[in-house]
Structure 1
Amino acid sequence: MARYNAIICDLGDVLFTWSPPPNQILPLNTLRRVLSSSTWFEYEKGRISQQTCYDNIGRELSTSPMDIRKGIEGSCASLRCNLDLVSFFRELKDTTEGGLRIFAMSNISQPDYDALRSITVDMDWSIFDGIFTSFAAGTRKPELKFYRYALSQASLDPSRTIFIDDRLENVLSARSQGLHGLMYRESKELKQSLLSLFGDPILRGQRFLKKNAGHLASMCSGIAIQENFTQLLILEMTKDRSLIELGIVEKEGKWNFFRGNQLTTAKFPCDLDTTSLGLTVIRARVKVAASIMDEMLNYINEDGIIQTYFDHDRPRIDPVVCVNVLHLFYSYGRGNEISQTFRWVHEVLLHRAYVQGSRYYETAECFLFFLYRFISGCDDPVVHTRFYPLLKERITERIGAAGDGLALAMRLVVCHFTGVRNSIDLQTLRAFQCEDGGWDAGLIYKYGSSGLSIGNRGLTTAMAIHAIRCSSLASSSL
């Protein structure tokens, strides 16, 4: 059953939009002054008549009451219903498990409300289980009496009620009464937020992955990049081979990041990073893995740190690559052969050298996630003693930091592993889920020379599903 069972939604500038006609007799700035005047507020509360309102405001603004009347009538005549949003509300109401009631709550006078009902003939007013107006309540938003009036009249539990309005002061007042306030900016954002609150994020994410199976390519500057790295990670997250496309592994068992020649050369070398990931996600025969690790040991720099490529002309190092190579070596009991790499990775963690990402990886979370992956897959007590307490400390420092969907999901996975509660990033991650059930492409990899970034919706979605599932398990165990 959904946590929320009711929605209270504003009418003007949410479900209805308006625009002054071209021949508007009342200047727009004057119209705004009319609608924000204390006299108009009294009129909306039903305390003065329409004519008295126009007369008083006319004197206040040195404007003809007739011009005010015509300006208001012209604006009302321009009202248009947001049919797409109304249709969305209808579908949400019809499909929400346990039932959903929807109410309207508007600062509006009785004459203007009557005019609204008569003008907007295409509006499906039946979606509302009740309509609360300021003239009927004798109070208006953001006055707290109006919220208490609505909650009382509809017998609503504020903790299970969502409030939607385009004005921050109105949303703030709603939140102060215990409602879940959503600030309206545009329909797409609102629908995304509501789906994250009412829908099952895991099921929606899984549908997205299934629908796009075999087409979860990475993107770089609008260009689809056929590569192996994210595909291997998606496979590890989902255990579903049908979702991904992998390139042919070279006969000696090495992996290349790329499966094509987009934004790269035809003879781009294989790399230790993708190879280490491939050999830990899809286990090779021990003899093959041993041969590859033997070759990797030929690519160590003067500091004793493992390099990125099977290529002596590219002597690059990256701490995330080092972590993934450590994972491979420790998986086969050979961790002691790259001890300098082990020490350097610990120094990177200790001194927070990863906070702005690395040469090939976009975010701090990439380093922390792959370090978690290494530790969790290793049964060496020295590794756990050396890294686990410090990893827990470092991931706690990241809670609430800005990040895209992939960074937040990685952060949540590491938090789960280290036993750190993180409801802040979980809520943000859920709000990032798109209308189609997937998450936007979070950035993971980048070209070291140009800095061009690579993102993948499939990976971000798979990681988000995994993170939300981990968080759910943690909550259920409390």
Structure 2
Amino acid sequence: MSASRYTALILDLGDVLFSWSSHTTSAIPPSILGAILSTPTWFDYERGRISEMTCFERIAATFSEDPVEVSAAITNARQSIQINEEMLALLRDLRDKSRGRLRIFALSNISVPDYQFIKTLPFDWSIFDDVFPSGIIGERKPDLAAYQYVVTATGIDPLTTVFVDDRPENVESARSLGMHGIVFTHQEDVLRALRSAFPYDPLKSGIAFLRTNAKALRSVTDGGISFMENFTQLLILELTQDETLVQLHPAMFTWNFFQGNPLFTETFPDDVDTTSLALTIMPKDPSDISAVMDEIAKLKNSDGILQTYFDPERQRIDPVVNVNALCLFYKYGRGHELEDSLTWIRNILQQNQHLEGSRYYQSPDCFLYFVGRLLLHSNDPYLHDVLRPALVRRVRERIGVKGDAMELSMRLLVCNELGIYNKVDMEALYLLQCDDGGWKLGWLYRFGSTGVRAGNRGLTTALAIQAIERGSAQCALREQPSQLYPTKSIIKNMFLSRGGFNYLMSCSG
């Protein structure tokens, strides 16, 4: 199932969400009452151009009826109004499943007095983003001006809008503007049509986005320059465990950030960050990995902190680079060789020094994500004792802080790893999903010499998919008294093995 191409729904009120009876206790027969509601006088009344008294007097004269009886017939018809509870329930369901992505409006030919009356009924008006009665906007269907008023007032795109009305001529006008029109005839058919028009599964929609853009999940700078690099491709591979989605240039020994020609310069040295990430997640001969780690260990500065590049002329340090190197070293039982780097990371966490970002990574959520990833890849008790308590405090402080989709996803994944339930950021993440199923890129890193930022929609989407899936698993486990939170082994086995994500991929096919 893919995301709906429709993002807005416009419904009529009368005979769609409300029904009324023309069989009244007044002296005016139903046939005459039906004819009254089709006169130009009534249309002017619905547009708000004449008062209720004037309307009744003109109608009485037209049909040779008593104005008092006309008023009584209209009043009795109002009193007969019933709410279509089944339709209302469907609208609630569609809105809930869309996580706020679906906007719902009402456009109705209804006078101000009639609208004021139905507003007193026990109806959940919060289901609508806005209501447009003809008596207030001064236009009525099927005149195109009524539809154009709604489009202008809401900013919706007619091409991504569904329109429902019981009158075919009203639906035809909506279709002429590009809307998908549904004539309300048999209710079951309409309910089925609406469910079909608004399917929504954020996970499957996100996976469809990754598949559609497989091998072309390029990174983009804040200046709009598109390029391929290894670091983000490796992260996507780790999250999805699907090699068909990414494009990599494997290295013989150490890895370079860029694929092909680098940006901003003719040459660019291999780096510890990309190399550590690659050797952590990609199978390679243990002796080769050990040899590379030997070279990394030689890159310590006078404080014992690892430098970023395999180039003695580029003396740069960054905490995230050290975290990722620690991840590699702890995975292969050599974490003790980077004790000074670990102390540095612990101090940053304890003293809140990550909030302004680092040389290469501007987001505090990014730093916390990679620290959480370090703990996820290692069961070393000493490592967890040193970092976990401070990480829990720092992550709790970030809950509810405004962020882009990448930051929210990273934050949610760390929360999940630590057993912290984070509903507020999950709800915010759902709202950021784009119509094509993916999530907008966040600025993962910045180039230290220029300050240019870069990100990747493929990475943001892969992170969001994992955050939602793991969050759903955590939610389910919270409801079980014997297991309040998912353990690290559960999460790791489900989502860092080939099982979890590839199972989702197969289900979305």
Q: 1:116-155 alignment to 2 at 5 Å?
A: 134-139=112-117, 146=119, 148-151=121-124
In 1: Cα distance, 2:477 partner to 2:159 partner: 32
**Deviation per residue, 1:25-84 (Å, 9 max, x gap):** xxxxxxxxxxxxxxx9996997565799xxxxxxxxxxxxxxxxxxxxxxxxxxxxxxxx
Q: Could you list the runs of 5+ residues in structure 1 that have no partner in the other structure?
A: 2-6, 12-39, 53-88, 111-133, 140-144, 152-157, 168-183
- SS state at 1:275 partner: helix
Q: Does the 8 Å CA contact 1:405/1:429 hold for their aligned counterparts?
A: yes
User: Quick one: which of 246, 249, 253 aligns to 1:247?
Assistant: 249
- The amino acid across from 1:317 in the alignment is I
- The amino acid across from 2:113 in the alignment is F
User: Quick one: which of 111, 127, 132 aligns to 1:162?
Assistant: 127
Number of the residue aligned with 1:287: 287
- Asked if 1:366 corresponds to 2:347, the answer is no
- The amino acid across from 1:187 in the alignment is I
- The amino acid across from 1:334 in the alignment is R
Shift of 1:473: 0.3
- SS state at 2:220 partner: strand
- The amino acid across from 1:245 in the alignment is Q
Number of the residue aligned with 1:205: 206
Shift of 1:432: 0.5
Number of the residue aligned with 1:65: none
Q: Does the 8 Å CA contact 2:365/2:410 hold for their aligned counterparts?
A: yes
In 2: Cα distance, 1:231 partner to 1:274 partner: 10
- SS state at 2:444 partner: strand
| Shift in CA distance, 336/266, structure 1 to aligned 2, threshold 3 Å | same
Q: Does the 8 Å CA contact 1:305/1:340 hold for their aligned counterparts?
A: yes
In 2: Cα distance, 1:45 partner to 1:395 partner: 61
- The higher radius of gyration belongs to 2
In 1: Cα distance, 2:455 partner to 2:280 partner: 22
- The amino acid across from 1:225 in the alignment is F
- The amino acid across from 2:339 in the alignment is S
**Deviation per residue, 1:399-426 (Å, 9 max, x gap):** 1111111000000000111111111111
Q: Could you list the runs of 5+ residues in structure 2 that have no partner in the other structure?
A: 2-7, 13-44, 58-89, 133-152, 162-193, 479-509
| Shift in CA distance, 230/47, structure 1 to aligned 2, threshold 3 Å | same
| Shift in CA distance, 191/375, structure 1 to aligned 2, threshold 3 Å | farther
Q: Does the 8 Å CA contact 1:8/1:162 hold for their aligned counterparts?
A: no
- SS state at 2:397 partner: helix
In 2: Cα distance, 1:339 partner to 1:189 partner: 60
| Shift in CA distance, 411/361, structure 1 to aligned 2, threshold 3 Å | same
| Shift in CA distance, 297/471, structure 1 to aligned 2, threshold 3 Å | same
| Shift in CA distance, 107/269, structure 1 to aligned 2, threshold 3 Å | same
| Shift in CA distance, 339/165, structure 1 to aligned 2, threshold 3 Å | same
TM-score, L = length of structure 2: 0.62
TM-score, L = length of structure 1: 0.66
Q: Does the 8 Å CA contact 1:47/1:138 hold for their aligned counterparts?
A: no
Number of the residue aligned with 2:76: none
In 1: Cα distance, 2:49 partner to 2:397 partner: 49
Q: Does the 8 Å CA contact 2:218/2:456 hold for their aligned counterparts?
A: yes
- The amino acid across from 2:202 in the alignment is P
Number of the residue aligned with 1:272: 272
| Shift in CA distance, 45/441, structure 1 to aligned 2, threshold 3 Å | farther
User: Quick one: which of 228, 232, 253 aligns to 1:226?
Assistant: 228
Number of the residue aligned with 2:155: 186
- SS state at 1:316 partner: coil
| Shift in CA distance, 432/147, structure 1 to aligned 2, threshold 3 Å | farther
**Deviation per residue, 1:246-281 (Å, 9 max, x gap):** 0131x2x21100002242433210000000000001
In 1: Cα distance, 2:326 partner to 2:159 partner: 44
In 1: Cα distance, 2:417 partner to 2:245 partner: 26
Shift of 1:299: 1.1
Shift of 1:361: 0.8
- Asked if 1:215 corresponds to 2:188, the answer is no
Q: 1:441-456 alignment to 2 at 5 Å?
A: 441-456=441-456
| Shift in CA distance, 319/380, structure 1 to aligned 2, threshold 3 Å | same
Identical-residue share of aligned pairs (%): 39
Number of the residue aligned with 2:356: 356
| Shift in CA distance, 429/262, structure 1 to aligned 2, threshold 3 Å | same
Shift of 1:365: 0.8
In 2: Cα distance, 1:189 partner to 1:454 partner: 34
**Deviation per residue, 1:59-116 (Å, 9 max, x gap):** xxxxxxxxxxxxxxxxxxxxxxxxxxxxxx99x98xx99xxx9985458753xxxxxx
In 2: Cα distance, 1:275 partner to 1:44 partner: 74
In 1: Cα distance, 2:417 partner to 2:355 partner: 20
Q: Does the 8 Å CA contact 2:105/2:128 hold for their aligned counterparts?
A: no
- The amino acid across from 2:244 in the alignment is S
Q: 1:50-449 alignment to 2 at 5 Å?
A: 105=106, 110=111, 134-139=112-117, 146=119, 148-151=121-124, 162-165=127-130, 185-187=154-156, 199-220=200-221, 221-249=223-251, 251=252, 253-449=253-449
Q: Does the 8 Å CA contact 1:8/1:104 hold for their aligned counterparts?
A: yes
Shift of 1:283: 2.9
Q: Does the 8 Å CA contact 2:276/2:324 hold for their aligned counterparts?
A: yes
| Shift in CA distance, 102/237, structure 1 to aligned 2, threshold 3 Å | closer
Q: Does the 8 Å CA contact 1:277/1:324 hold for their aligned counterparts?
A: yes
| Shift in CA distance, 104/448, structure 1 to aligned 2, threshold 3 Å | closer
| Shift in CA distance, 264/8, structure 1 to aligned 2, threshold 3 Å | closer
Number of the residue aligned with 1:17: none
| Shift in CA distance, 166/42, structure 1 to aligned 2, threshold 3 Å | closer
| Shift in CA distance, 104/279, structure 1 to aligned 2, threshold 3 Å | closer
In 2: Cα distance, 1:211 partner to 1:222 partner: 21
Name the Cα RMSD after superposition.
3.7
- The amino acid across from 1:146 in the alignment is K
In 1: Cα distance, 2:50 partner to 2:248 partner: 65
Alignment size in residue pairs:
347
Q: Does the 8 Å CA contact 1:46/1:138 hold for their aligned counterparts?
A: no
In 2: Cα distance, 1:189 partner to 1:277 partner: 46
- The amino acid across from 2:210 in the alignment is L
- SS state at 2:439 partner: coil
Shift of 1:199: 1.0
